[in-house]
Structure 1
Amino acid sequence: MGTFYEIQDGPVNALALNRDYTQVVIGGRNVFKIYQIEEGRFRELCNLRTLKHLNLNFSCNDVAWSPTDDQYVATAATNGHVTVWNLNKMGKAMQEQDYQDHKRTVNKVNFHATESGRLISGSQDGTMRYFDIRVRNAVSVFVSNTESVRDVQFSPHSPYTFAAVSENGNVQIWDLRRTEKFQQQFTAHSGPVFACDWHPEQPWIATASRDKTIKVWDLSSKNTLEHTIHTIASIGRIKWRPQYRYHIASCALVIDCSINVWDVRRPYIPLAAFNEHRDITSGMAWRGDPNVFLSSGRDNTLYQHSFADGQKPATKANPQGISLNTRGEVVYSRKVATTPTIVSCNSSSQNSLSKAVGLMRKISTTQTIDSFHLAASCLYDFNPNNVEEHESSIFLRLAKNYVLHGRSVSELCERNAVVAEELGKSDVAVTWRIIKTMYGEEFVQNAMMNPPTATTANNSNNAVNNNKHEEVDVVEEPKSKGAETPAAQFSGGDEETENEDQVDHAFPNYLNVRNNGYLPKGDFFFGENELDVELDGAPAFMDFYQFRLNQTAVGQIDWSLPNEAFPTRHEILDRSPPPEQFPDHHQSINFREDAHTVQVDDQLPGMLANIKGCGVPSWDPSGIVIETLHHYATLGDVQTVACVLIVLGESRRFLTGLTEITQEHWILGYIDLLSRYKLWNISNEIIKLSWLPNVSQLNQQSTTMHTNCGKCMKLLQRVGWLCDRCHTSEYGLCSICHQVVRGLYVWCQGCSHGGHVGHMRQWLSKNKLCPTGCGHLCEFN
């Protein structure tokens, strides 16, 4: 038989089969029909919604068909009615009984397996009512003392036993002859239990809950949990598969529209799955044949499924995989063959085979829909780095050995780099040494003497900061006679060599900058506009200018190239234009050096008219440092981030792109980790070294611990050793020596008894019970 379906007028809430599994009844808000099940189709026999003069203005929440009399069908309604229908009658007479005992929605109705005309119901009012169709009211009432009863099922093993599940997660077993109290009760799930089903052969009961599990309980002993199935959604219905001990079908209450058949021995992958419904499956029932079952859904359909058409999810499971962690360890799973070879083997070879295949399932040579897809994997663990220390131990050793204050930045960085390198943190060690190079004392000194200019701040592409030295006084003087001809300005001779010492004395700032190598070297260049550039922004070729003073002509400056740089083979006849052709030439420079003054009067070119100190080319590393800190924070290494920020000290002001909120988040994260490892001293040190107000105020907050009186257990709300209720002072007495504790006091948070730290430690090292004799199992941490 294949799979076929019938479309209905509305959503179907439940279905039930008759005694010989040839007819099915379905019910819903707008649906109440009976179908004959034929080969490949459903044939409608009766539509009870079309009957006149019937009060059917309520929704069918559940339906049941009597297993002993085919003429009786029961429905559970949302208005609290339980109605019994006689299919042998017509018209209004079909309504055999209409019970209105329940005050709220009836969730479940179920006929007795052997007693004709007996049925039971469970409702949202927390009660279960036992009916006899010959009586107009309920025969017995069972109170569950819970908010609601979701499902009731008669036991196939005992004619007087039924089970009920409720929203508080409990399962109750009742005897029909005792209405005052249940036989046994146990908590099966952590959430509401929506369905239960007795196993037809074993003393087992299966329960389904909102906690996304199906549990199988053995009631022959003390409610033993035998199996647990993990699903992806809350389960609304479950049914054991006939003739199969370990197979059970389920459908979800939300999200999942599939019907899954499970083998309880394999709790994570279904044995078979049926995905015909497009909305939530609301009901299902086996047709007595383990290969055929019916289902109804909220998608207005009624299906008959053939087990051979089901999918096998296990065939799509991948038995191979690989995983790599941050320490370089690799875990790899490889598929192994599962078909055994028929050979005679001893016990040792059998053990080896069982280890290779695993203990999850038994190897079988036949492949049917009732057997699992055979797949087995071997797991391999590769550890190329041979890491002996775990991350937690490395964190502890770094926290204890890092030095964060008391030395210079260079010393702190070098010390911490050595510590990180010894523990295998080579990347962290390199970071510490880079921080040392970037923010050592030399960097701080240069940064303090030469603060970056506005040009550098605005231009992020040029990592050069122009620094200003003392400017040279510039005074206008009359033009000297020696500056009238090009020969006078660019004449070479022996007298130039004699004046080099005076030039060094006259230009101390320039020569110091040039000799220290701060300005980069480059090719000499003659251009049209190079003389118009000031020295503080001059290009590299400006370093090749040589200043010489001619004593024979007062106020005359001669321009020439050093002979060693450009050896000439003949006299240069075509010289550059004289300085008077350039702007700013009617000026003189007044150089002051110590106690004497040297004046130079000449027609100076524009590039020398405003001489300024040459800035030290510097690189701003703040962007790289901020990016590095964010990288470590992304990896979860807040320890490195927090320690680097603390060691930087005053240099943190150069990290202008790092907000205080981000820094506070990192510091608090490190403090939280230290507290988890109980490193209270280091945590307090981090708080003291913090420059952030929200962090530094942490150790200024008071800590209040409320305790109870050891005699009357009243909460001690005021300071002192006297209880407000019993007026005893046992709170301050030692339970061992019975003396007042002056100093450290330790007490048990369970019984509130305590005493001297040493006395309690000594007592609890040999005993488990409280020394006062209260019988409490005290624990000393």
Structure 2
Amino acid sequence: MALRWNSEFYMAMEHRDLQANAMALNNTGTYVLLAGRRYIAIRNLDDNDVDNIKKFPRQSKYDVGAAEWNHTDYNSDLCVISSNQRLEVLTWRSGELTQTHSLRAHTRVITDLNWHRTDPHLLASSSVDTFIHLWDLRDSRRPTSSLSAIAEASQVRWNYVNPHILATAHDGDIKLWDNRKGTAPVLYLSAHLAKIHGLDWNPNIESQLATSSQDNTVKFFDINNPKKAEYVLNTNAPVWRARFTPFGNGLVTVVVPQLRRGENSLLLWNTANRATPVHTFVGHRDVVLEFEWRKQKGGDIDFQLVTWSKDQSLLVWRIEPFLQKLCGHEPDESKDLDSDDIFESVEIPNKLSQKSQALQQEFSLLNLQIPKMDVLKMDLVKRFCTVCAKTNNFLVLLQVSFPTAYPHGVPPTFQVLQDSSIDDSTSAKLLQTLTHIAQQRVLKNRTCLEPCLRHMVATLEQLASDLNDKRRYDSPYFEPPNLFGAYNEDAYIPFPRTSGAKFCSVSTLVCFGRPTVSRRFATKMDSSTPRALSALGSVFSSKRPSDTITISSFYYQTQRNRPKHINTAHNLFRPQVVLYDTSELFYVNKQLAGKYILDGDVGTLCKYNGNEAARVGRWDLVQAWTLAELVSGPQQAEEDMHCNPFGTQLMKFLIEHYASKTDIQMAAMLSCVFGKEHEHTNRKQSLKSLLSPGTQLIPGKRWLKGGSPYHTIPPADVVADGWVFPLLRSARSNSLDNLRIEDNSIVPLKVNTTTSLYEYYKQAYAEILHRWDLLYERVEILKYMCVPGEIHKGVEFLSDCQHCLEPSRNCRCAACKKLSLNCVVCHISVRGSSNCCLVCGHGGHTIHMQQWFSSYEMCPSGCGCRCLIETGTVLSP
């Protein structure tokens, strides 16, 4: 057990033998209870004797989960602790601690407990068993009321102002209860998406509740308007507890103890300005387990905060007037006492002033084992520290001077002493960096000595490493110095990959890399692939200054101009590209793609396709096509296809099966033939179901597929959201050629994702066919698409209709409905492929244009335009 002193916490006691994880402070602030599995201890905080502590052994195999002292004067000698499923009520009288009640009703571990603020007999407890029990000590045999919450209750808190309101936390939700209104909650709050660790009512505002959560936030709710949090305080770590201060607009937070991330400080916030903490309480060497406010004594303007940590130390912090002002509280300084009166009852050797004590604490906590750094001198009177940092090439003597107001917003000053071995430029950069780090720390009222010293050592190590690299690159083996450009440019440019593999097109694997002989050669030379371009020359360095090696010369010089040793290296390291046919690894088959048909009735094409599958040895496909032929046979009526489990449903499962096996070819073929989502038996009704209300099917109007023929993969939102059209089950005779509507567009219907997957299979298979150069087969698949293609976006060349002179995108004019272009060679209307001059606008059939301009230069219309030359001039940059 030890006693430590500091300007902020004037009392610090360590009790490592207790191994306590729960703390409670009585209503007068005189006694503190510390409870663990082995001991329960009581300490008088008004007595500065370090040995003044009472220990009471516990005979239990369970640890203490929570502890709290009764808040009323009537039962001020009562305290309660939770141990597994039981509550133990203890009485502290005449220096003895005795158990008076044992409360048993929970069936799982108790998570929290809370005494009523005004009723001396009422106690609430919460548990993992989802129940919140309300106990009256006058009849402790059973709870007076049990509140069922369905979900685990992790926190319970009585309202400070309203004696009937109770708040409980359940994962990320809050429930409010009124003990006058039965066992049902009166209000429900969906507060956080993560678990709530702490609850606290505002001691002055009845309706304000603060919740701390695993999601790194503290939220403030007004229970009169519970739909949305009033405001949110964001932190850098999950918050274990957040409690209001007894003064101003303050709030104190601590991180979750289970994290053990080195965040051992408490943060003081002003809830009116939540951007950053106004103060940080630094002193604990491990995470804080519990903290409570000590009752303010008469005539004292300082508030006190009592904290208990995992490091088994108890600290009592003094909240001075300047900290209270930061939280919006104006203390009455007329009641101020002499600050030295606080320490009169304690003998402190070599008593120092308050600021000196803060610096003494920082000096005492400084880690003297920082690598490559020695502390030469620490002077509390003159308030400075001198350190020495040594690396391979640098020696830095640094003096740090601390102003009187440090660390409350005022950073220390840094000075590099004369015996240091760094130049002025490096010294200036180092001082600038240290000053910046110090300013960032003191803005949060945090000390900065150790972080600054560690950063200085890391900076010097990096400078030494860079210097060594530069010297190595400047050696004679790397002549000329600008062999691969400036060092700062190439040293951080990664070397190109020397090997890799990628699937290209369909069923083709492209691999590149160095040959085996080059790897053996590199091994003999004790070399490996360089990490940067600047290191390339170390593998094959030139012995003659006249031989310059660059990236381009290394790879592209001819053998006649390349030095002999470089020529050898070039031959050895020449990359190799190998193409592998991996078609046997995939289910898609190019031979089948060229043989499959979609013409004729369904039964005939299924039989034909099954025979083609047998030719390539795909007997699983033969079975699938045979089932498809049986399903589509003449004995199956249209209405039976949907009701019979061996009809449409069987085909649906077959499509899903082949899609799950990545056989996109078979899934797409079956989708073209049997992809039908709706259950209407009449085909005319099916087509009408595609249209928006008021749209009619008018003969003579075709639905034309728009968009670029090369854009075959549908947009992600089309597939994901399901905005597609129901598919048709029939073959060529019922494809999109017969779908005639009034306009070129159609309003999509929202359907399930099964239909959208059918469309995706067709699009994906069409893309595969395009890569195989099977363009006719690709067009056949696209005819069965029920989703219009994406409209082309980009540069388009439109021709003016020769009849009405309106711009026309297609061969038929949208305005006058006539063919918009006549061939200038054969004078026949153009329905297929055409080409036109960009200058004179004349053109015609592509084949006629090719034949004409193979013999002539002038336009066949007689306009005098040299079409090929003029068009080339227009397109030239």
Greater length-normalized contact order (CA 8 Å, ≥ 6 residues apart): 1
Q: Which has the larger radius of gyration?
A: 1
Q: Please, what TM-score do these two structures have when normalized by structure 2?
A: 0.41
Q: Please, what TM-score do these two structures have when normalized by structure 1?
A: 0.45
